[in-house]
Amino acid sequence: MRASSWRWALVASLALNLLLLGVIGTWWWRSDSRSSGPSALAEAVATLPEPDRTALGHLLDQRRAEADALWKELRQLRTASNEALSADPYDPAKAAAGLAAMRDKFKELRDVVEGTALEIMPKLPAEQRRKMLERRSALWRL
């Protein structure tokens, strides 16, 4: 394969991976599990004695606001990436940059969610951690 063919293959591969990520993310975002009440972390925090319950409740509220802002930015980046991928004339560098920006923003979102879970976990008794993890997507929702 020539070098230009490899570049197109890379761009196509990145686009396909991002499409798959978008489909999975959209399904997850719109699924009933996202909107069906409090998250597993929120339920676990609600069972804690004071002052941990209040402190961690405030932490969850703060991190939920961060996550919501990141989701909004991620949706905007997806729109920009879709425009770059469907533009005529097609600019491979712009399309690749759009996909990379989405990947980086998604990593930021994961860092917030996982960091919050890791901050709360030490305060929970082992049985509470087990119950929380039995719920689907427990570590993906604030």
Per-residue pLDDT at 26:
77
Shared domain for 24 and 55, answered yes or no, is: no
Shared domain for 55 and 116, answered yes or no, is: yes
Shared domain for 23 and 90, answered yes or no, is: no
State how many domains the chain has: 2
pTM: 0.64
Per-residue pLDDT at 95:
93
- If one counts every other C-beta atom within 10 angstroms of the C-beta of residue 24, the result is 10
What is the band of 140 on the pLDDT scale with cuts at 50, 70, 90? low
Mean pLDDT of 103-118: 91
Shared domain for 28 and 73, answered yes or no, is: no
Per-residue pLDDT at 44:
80
Does pLDDT of 111 surpass 80? yes
Q: How many CA atoms lie within 13 A of 18 on its CB side?
A: 28
Phi, psi of 141, deg, nearest 5: -125, 140
Shared domain for 74 and 49, answered yes or no, is: yes
Shared domain for 46 and 71, answered yes or no, is: yes
Per-residue pLDDT at 121:
87
Shared domain for 32 and 53, answered yes or no, is: no
Shared domain for 64 and 100, answered yes or no, is: yes
Shared domain for 120 and 81, answered yes or no, is: yes
pLDDT, tens digit, for every residue of 3-44? 677 788 888 888 888 888 888 877 766 664 445 566 777 878
First vs last C-alpha separation in the chain = 47
Shared domain for 10 and 64, answered yes or no, is: no
Per-residue pLDDT at 142:
61
- Residue 4's domain comprises 1-36
Shared domain for 73 and 118, answered yes or no, is: yes
Shared domain for 108 and 65, answered yes or no, is: yes
